[in-house]
């Protein structure tokens, strides 16, 4: 049992990780990555555009969905022909699952299809908001962790729920910034910051980011990474936006580690007052 003292609040301007960690990436469940941007593979015009966007984003992890194969036309091109799972880590998701049972079943199949234990769990509560159902999410996290999975878990932006997920075996906490596919940006910076401060596993904002400044904002809050799909796929130029997101994440991370200046209520001149003519 963790006690509150473990998660004592700290000043927002104090980086969680030492500066030297900035250059060598982050780690989740024993896997090390240098890119802090995870991108989805849905909604693209075609596989070629998707692959080009992944390349431009610099992402080393992509999320993928698990679906029935096309039996009527098995010659159709498939994602794996364009994005090589030996070079880019496939993170199978449970998008579209509304119960723990469905999500667990999906990930058991995913593990068999790909051989990966690292998975993204999301159990949705309703179609209109795609808001996570935390009771089912917690249940599924526990079962999956007991079966040897390493679940990275999409969740509400609630520091208590985040702690419960960690206790249940989540290897990463992935709170929403805003509803999936909304592009509304991070709605509650306070709760994201509280989750970051309390977590001992990586925290990634998953969903809601619409543009590069919002990706930077997530990183400035101290998140270990950002996961997005629609912001890139639905940009007018997805490849250019993928690049923008890469830089946004890097800029935000650097700014977080640098430690922002304090806020003043009034002006403070940058040029010396002495020697004025």
Partner 1 sequence: MSTPISITVNGESRRSQASTIADLVRELSLKPEKVAVEHNGVIAPRSTLEDVPLADGDVLEIVTFVGGG
8 A C-beta contact, residue 206 and residue 227: yes
Cβ(153)–Cβ(106) below 8 Å:
no
- Asked if 202 interacts with partner 1 (CB under 8 A), we say no
Question: At its nearest, how many Å lie between partner 1 and the CB of residue 58?
Answer: 18
Site for partner 1 in 113-142 (CB under 8 A): 113-114
Angle, helix 159-168 to helix 189-198, in steps of 10 degrees: 30
Structure tokens that stand for 84 in this block: 């090589």
120 labelled catalytic: yes
Q: Are 67 and 109 in contact (CB under 8 A)?
A: no
Least distance from C-beta 47 to partner 1, angstroms?
A: 8
Query: Which positions from 146 to 175 touch partner 1 by CB under 8 A, shown as an x/- string?
Result: ------------------------------
Select which of 16, 43, 120, 246 is catalytic.
Answer: 120
Exactly one of 48, 69, 160, 258 binds partner 1 (CB under 8 A); that residue is: 69
In the complex, the smallest distance separating the C-beta of residue 158 from partner 1, rounded to whole angstroms, is: 22
Number of residues that bind partner 1 (CB under 8 A): 38
Q: Are 171 and 29 in contact (CB under 8 A)?
A: yes
Tokens of 26: 């982050």
Residues 76-115 that bind partner 1 (CB under 8 A): 78-80, 85, 90, 92-93, 95, 105, 108-114
Distances (CA, A) of 131 to 112, 216, 275: 28, 23, 60
Q: Measured from the CB of residue 212, what is the shortest distance to partner 1 in angstroms?
A: 18
């Amino acid at each position: 049992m963790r006690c509150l003292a473990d998660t004592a609040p700290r000043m927002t301007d104090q980086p969680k990780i030492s500066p030297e960690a900035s250059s060598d990436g982050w780690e989740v469940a024993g896997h090390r990555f240098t890119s802090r941007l995870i991108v989805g593979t849905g909604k693209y015009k075609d596989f070629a555009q998707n692959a080009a966007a992944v390349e431009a984003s610099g992402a080393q992890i992509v999320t993928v969905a698990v679906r029935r194969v096309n039996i009527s036309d098995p010659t159709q091109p498939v994602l794996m022909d364009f994005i090589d799972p030996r070079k880019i880590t496939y993170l199978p998701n449970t998008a579209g699952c509304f119960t723990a049972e469905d999500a667990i079943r999906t990930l058991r199949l995913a593990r068999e299809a790909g051989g990966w234990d690292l998975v993204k769990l999301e159990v949705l509560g309703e179609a209109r908001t795609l808001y996570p159902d935390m009771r089912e999410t917690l249940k599924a996290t526990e079962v999956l962790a007991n079966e040897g999975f390493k679940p990275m878990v999409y969740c509400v932006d609630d520091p208590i729920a985040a702690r419960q997920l960690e206790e249940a075996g989540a290897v990463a906490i992935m709170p929403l910034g805003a509803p999936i596919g909304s592009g509304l940006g991070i709605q509650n910076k306070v709760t994201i910051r509280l989750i970051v401060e309390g977590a001992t596993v990586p925290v990634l904002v998953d969903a809601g980011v619409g543009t590069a400044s919002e990706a930077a904002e997530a990183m400035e809050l101290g998140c270990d990474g950002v996961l997005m799909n629609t912001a890139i796929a639905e940009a007018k130029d997805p490849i250019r936006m993928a690049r923008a997101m890469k830089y946004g994440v890097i800029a935000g991370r650097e700014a977080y580690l640098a430690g922002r200046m304090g806020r003043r209520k009034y002006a403070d001149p940058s040029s010396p007052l002495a020697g004025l003519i």
